């Protein structure tokens, strides 16, 4: 079951009220959306966006009693937010949520190779309209490019050894599935790694997923659009799960605050309480930042 991360904190900072309009840019399986709908009443509306069409289907299935004409679903990359708003004439906009994590359902049920614990095709695309797959990167990209991905997006200290192991494996036969990739990179790690708290393939899979979906560039593109679309007094809430994501958000907010465009509501990022982490271990790396538009 998908558990929305930092739900109470998201609602606190978005401050949804009856008759207000919000955008959920990564509606996932509808966890945050469900509470938003409760708060905005019959006059409020939500534009619910997700690049993964299966996520929208899961949301519709999970919230059969809550969904009505107040919700407009859009299967699109969130970098098209300005275009979607114009298309739907969705204004005014009082708050925008961007949860950069992926859902448990994507890990467990997508069949697209997001999890190293399953044996699935090495895909990792959020959208089937995306041409690039993790299989393409692993089998055809130059070693130095793969190493750059692992270092930048996975913060992997053993990137060089992992790439050497990948090249050795792909010279024998293509690496086509998640388990074939796990087996291929395992020689790069010391044996004691098998007993570590975090699986040795975690950073490699994370880095490939980010590269396949161009996640960092997309974040850079969506931030100014989201801020421009908000009404004065509107709130922008972002949950990130990667240090580079959080750095992009933090630096953008600081620059906008210097220019007098926003008020930063979170001096430090909000982290999940220990109780939430115990219930949902995947929330452990979440960081929430929120701002209010003032001009």
User: Taking the domain 131-212, which CATH number applies?
Assistant: 1.10.150.170
Spell out the domain ranges in the chain. 7-105+215-293, 131-212
pLDDT, averaged across the chain: 92
Question: Residue range 50-64: average pLDDT?
Answer: 85
Band the pLDDT of 245: cuts 50, 70, 90: very high
The b-or-e profile of 87-116 (16+ CB within 10 A means b, else e) is eeebeebbbbbbbbbbbbbbbeebebbbbb
- Same fold? 7-105+215-293, 131-212: no
The whole-number pLDDT of residue 103 equals 63
Confidence of residue 295 (pLDDT cuts 50, 70, 90): confident
Residues 7-105+215-293: name the CATH superfamily: Vaccinia Virus protein VP39 (3.40.50.150)
pLDDT band of 192, cuts 50, 70, 90: confident
pLDDT at 195 over 60: no
**The pLDDT of residue 17 is above 90:** yes
Question: What average pLDDT does range 45-66 have in this prediction?
Answer: 86
Q: Look at residue 13 and tell me whether its pLDDT is greater than 80.
A: yes
The pLDDT of residue 58 is 84
User: In which band, very low, low, confident or very high, does the pLDDT at 193 lie, cut at 50, 70 and 90?
Assistant: low
Pairing of β 287-293 and β 93-99: unpaired
More confident residue, 193 or 41: 41
Point out the least confidently predicted range of 108-117, 129-138, 148-157, 268-277: 108-117
Query: What pLDDT was estimated at residue 143?
Result: 98
Name which of 57-61, 115-119, 261-265 the model is least confident about.
57-61
**pLDDT for position 2:** 61
Average pLDDT over residues 108-126: 88
Predicted confidence band at 106 (pLDDT cuts at 50, 70, 90)?
low
Average pLDDT over residues 30-47: 91
According to the model, what pLDDT value does residue 104 have?
60
Q: What is the pLDDT of residues 70-93, one digit of tens each?
A: 999 999 999 999 999 999 999 999
């Amino acid at each position: 079951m998908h558990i929305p991360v930092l739900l109470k904190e998201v609602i606190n900072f978005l401050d949804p009220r009856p008759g207000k309009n919000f955008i959920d840019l990564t509606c996932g399986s509808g966890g945050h959306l469900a509470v938003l709908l409760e708060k905005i009443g019959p006059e409020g509306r939500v534009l619910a966006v997700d690049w993964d069409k299966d996520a929208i289907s899961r949301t519709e299935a999970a919230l059969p009693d809550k969904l009505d004409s107040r919700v407009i679903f859009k299967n699109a990359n969130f970098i098209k937010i300005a275009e979607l708003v114009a298309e739907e004439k969705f204004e005014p906009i009082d708050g925008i949520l961007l949860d950069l994590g992926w859902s448990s359902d994507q890990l467990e049920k997508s069949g697209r190779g997001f999890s190293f614990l399953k044996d699935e095709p090495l895909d990792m695309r959020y959208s089937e309209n995306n041409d690039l797959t993790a299989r393409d990167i692993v089998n055809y990209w130059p070693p130095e490019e793969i190493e750059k991905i692992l270092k930048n997006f996975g913060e992997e200290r053993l990137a060089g050894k992992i790439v050497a192991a990948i090249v050795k494996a792909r010279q024998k036969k293509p690496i086509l599935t998640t388990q074939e990739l796990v087996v291929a990179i395992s020689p790069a790690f010391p044996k004691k790694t098998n007993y570590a708290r975090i699986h040795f393939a975690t950073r490699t899979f994370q880095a490939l997923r980010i590269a396949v979906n161009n996640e960092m560039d997309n974040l850079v593109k969506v931030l100014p659009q989201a801020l421009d679309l908000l009404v004065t007094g509107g709130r922008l809430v972002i949950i990130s799960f990667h240090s580079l994501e959080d750095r992009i958000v933090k630096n953008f907010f600081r620059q906008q605050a210097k220019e007098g465009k926003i008020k930063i509501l979170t001096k430090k990022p909000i982290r999940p309480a220990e109780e939430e982490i115990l219930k949902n271990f995947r929330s452990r790396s979440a960081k929430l930042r929120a701002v209010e538009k003032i001009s």
